[in-house]
Copies of this chain bind each other. A is one copy, B any other.
């Protein structure tokens, strides 16, 4: 009953590019770890793991992020599959890569520390093992494209955030400054942000109003052919 006998089976892994942001950061960070096993032990790498016989690729990716951060229900998207036969000197492994977006404040620091994981700003990205640097570049490219046309930026911010925080996030993603008047107008005229009565007072004396992303409204607008565009 095995229809496909006598074909070669291959090891399949999942590698996760985990981007993180803190609401007062000015730069995006990637979660990297020091590899604890051979080959390439001690070098910088992405978090990964082998796909198990009974789980889907998405499930494997979720499991891996959960193991490292303690977070469930994280935004996650498949990126690309890397299959050069020599990409891993330890053997032929096909790697399916995933991008995740995380609010740095919400993850489990102990768990990450236990795995030897660190948040590294993109500007200080070290040399990673194998083709992991390619994975990060591809992930960043995809994030930049996605963030323009889908409201995924909010995955990197807490539920309540201020417009200046949102702007700093987008500036971090695109590594380019935006005009604050144009930016504010653009995000507000979409009508997807609900203004709260509360102010954030840490970063300025005047204080900035908090806003909340209204996901329900977004779904409604989508029905009418609405296009998110930033």
Q: Which residues of A contact B (CB under 8 A)?
A: 2-4, 7-12, 37-39, 50-58, 60, 78, 80-85, 90-94, 96
Q: Of all chain B residues, which has the CB nearest A3?
A: B90
- The distance in angstroms between the C-alpha atoms of A51 and B3, with both chains bound, is 16
CA distance A21 to B81 in the complex (A): 28
A56 touching B81, Cβ below 8 Å: no
- Check A4–B9 contact: CB distance below 8 A: no
Residues of B within 8 A of A50 (CB): 4, 7-8
Q: Of B4, B58, B81, which contacts A78 at CB under 8 A? A: B81
Closest to A6 in B: B50
Contact in complex: B81, A96 (CB < 8 Å)? yes
Q: Judging by beta carbons under 8 Å apart, are A96 and B78 in contact?
A: no
Asked whether, in the complex, the Cβ of A91 is within 8 Å of the Cβ of B2, the reply is: yes
B83 near A80: Cβ-Cβ < 8 Å:
no
| Structural contact, B53 and A10, CB atoms closer than 8 A | yes
Partner of A4, one of B56, B80, B90, B96: B90
**Given A3-B38, A90-B3, A91-B3: A8 in contact with B53 (beta carbons within 8 A):** yes
Least Cβ distance of A16 to chain B in Å? 14
A92 to B9, CA, bound (A): 10
Contact A12 B94 (CB under 8 A): yes
B3 touches A94 (CB 8 A): no
Most buried by B among A3, A50, A91, A96: A3
Evaluate contact between B51 and A94: CB separation under 8 angstroms. Answer: yes
Of B78, B85, B90, B93, which is within 8 A of A56 by CB?
A: B85
Contact assessment for B3 and A7 in the assembled complex, using a CB-CB cutoff below 8 Å: no
Q: Residues of B contacting A9 with CB < 8 Å? A: 9-12
